[in-house]
Amino acid sequence: MVLVRQELGDVLRDLRQERGCTLRQIAGRASVALGYLSEVERGQKEASSEILASVADALDVPISRIMREVGDRLAVLEEMAVSDDAALGRIPDTVPDELVASVGRTAARRGH
């Protein structure tokens, strides 16, 4: 089952790392516990809408961008799941390379 919180966690971590920020910095700015943010990034905890808004603010990213990115990554995973190509380890040509790279990392970590 494809879970939103896993993709959301990946997106939040990628955005944080793109900005060269530590967990501690973003947790501090967003006023959330460092351990909690870490669990959210690893897809182990659901983030409430209020916490998500705070973290987006701390990252200086609109929530809309985060949710669209989550949607885009879920779409790639869905396509991989239904495509016969997935069984052969190939990715459809219609999937942008950038997304393949980011989801590829996710899939690798999860042992796909």
> Which stretches of the chain bind a copy of itself, using CB under 8 A?
1-6, 46, 48-50, 52-53, 62-72, 74-75, 77-78
Task: Pick the closer one to a copy of itself by CB: 68 or 105.
Answer: 68
- Cβ 46 to a copy of itself shortest distance, Å: 6
Task: Pick the closer one to a copy of itself by CB: 19 or 68.
Answer: 68
> Helix H segments across 31-92?
34-41, 49-59, 63-82, 84-87
Q: Any idea of the CA torsion for 79, 85, 91, 95, to the nearest 10 degrees?
A: -40
- Cβ 18 to a copy of itself shortest distance, Å: 18
From the number of C-beta atoms within 10 Å of its C-beta (0-12, 13-18, 19+), residue 45 rates as middle
Residue 48 is classified by DSSP as: P
Task: Pick the closer one to a copy of itself by CB: 75 or 107.
Answer: 75
- Cβ 9 to a copy of itself shortest distance, Å: 10
- Cβ 103 to a copy of itself shortest distance, Å: 11
- Amino acid sitting at position 49: S
Extract the tokens encoding 23: 């967990």
